Amino acid sequence: MADGRELLYFDDGGHAVVHDGVDHRDLGAAAEAGTMRLDVLTGEWVTIAAHRMTRTHLPSRADCPLCPTRDGGHPTEVPEGDYDVVVFGNRFPSFSGDAELDPGVPEPRAGLPDRPALGRCEVVCFSSNHSASVSELTRRRMRTVVAAWAQRTAELSATPGVAQVFCFENRGEEIGVTLAHPHGQIYAYPYVTPRTAAVLTQARAHARRTGGHLLRDVLHHEQRAGTRMVLAGEHWSAYVPTAARWPVEVHLAPHRDVPDLAALDAPERDELADVYQELLRRVDRFFPGVDRVPYIAAWHQAPVGEGRELARLHLQVFSVLRAPGKLKYLAGSESGMGAWVNDASPETIAARLREVAS
């Protein structure tokens, strides 16, 4: 790209396609890495990325930076007249630069120096169609998206200093989306994120206590109980977690112990392309009269290093919408104390997701 960022095309056809568009924009240098500071009260890293304050915010369709660059039109991030799936470095990244420094987690103490927020943030455009929805993509396109996630997970995981790779999609202004074009993101963190660290702690305790694998045992428990199951395939099952935090929440897990998307075999990827879209369609039908429910689709993958054997790939899809026109706000208890309260029962959520099946 004009500022040196990498641009990768993933094509549906299964054969090489020549992409020779040239980015002629005058962008200057790519964004420098921000900084990370350790919260000594919690032991968690906080990234300071002040340059993101000026990022593009809800442009018109004519000015969308994720659409293809049309002849005589507004130049965009993709210097081609069309594309299937494209991945490129985020212009306003939370993490950037070569992730050659593994910051580790030093003993929390006041006065720790800032550390560079090294890592990578990528944008994944699922379609050149500005109005498309992931649930409406063709099966072949969804399979290309899965392949892109897997390839980027493998490459980023092999980058020195990267501790964890996170693929996700935010949809809807209620979530905080600033670009309406169908897209997701991939973060390559230089540390293991707080949620994953908490899961690893629980998984270690579970293994010591029972000899089992926590995430595998959770899936088997939900399959036996049945009351919170949403769908079951040959390679994947979806369920609402026992302690769901969100008014709409569903998890999707492979039947085989798999650390990340890159480790999925061909049959697992093929079925994933189907069940992933089916879950998103059910989320969209959850509330009568609501056409497009805002959601976050988050792929939890095993960390690259220590604790990898304790983690297991799974998808978490959830929405902040608790009723048509009403949002679930993270107010005093959730935001101030981290103590969650959910107004919806997991069993009711699961029943509704079964009811709206295709």
Phi, psi angle pair for 185, to nearest 5°:
-140, 160
CA torsion, ordered 184, 188, 192, 193, to nearest 10 deg = -30
Task: List b or e across 11-48, with b for residues whose CB sees 16 or more CB atoms inside 10 angstroms.
Answer: ebeeeeeeeebebeeeeeebbebbebebeeeeeebebe
The active-site residue, picked from 19, 74, 183, 255, is 183
Q: Is 75 helix (H, G, I), strand (E, B) or coil?
A: coil
Contact criterion met (CB below 8 Å) for 188 and 156:
yes
Sequence length of the chain is 358
- CB count, 10 Å around CB of 325? 9
Q: Alpha-carbon distance 299 to 286, whole Å?
A: 21
Asked if residues 248 and 286 have their Cβ atoms less than 8 Å apart, the reply is yes
Strands 183-189, 164-171: parallel, antiparallel or unpaired by DSSP?
A: antiparallel
DSSP 79-140: -SS--SEEEEE-SS-SS-S--------PPP-TTPPPEE--SEEEEEE--S-TT--GGGS-HH
Q: Is 57 a catalytic residue?
A: no
Report how far apart the first and last C-alpha atoms of the chain are (Å, whole number). 41
| Residue 166 neighbours by CB distance under 10 Å | 19
Q: Which helix (H) or strand (E) holds 214?
A: helix 214-225
Record the tokens describing residue 114, joined without a space.
């800032």
Amino acid in the structure at residue 107:
E
Catalytic residue positions, numbered: 183
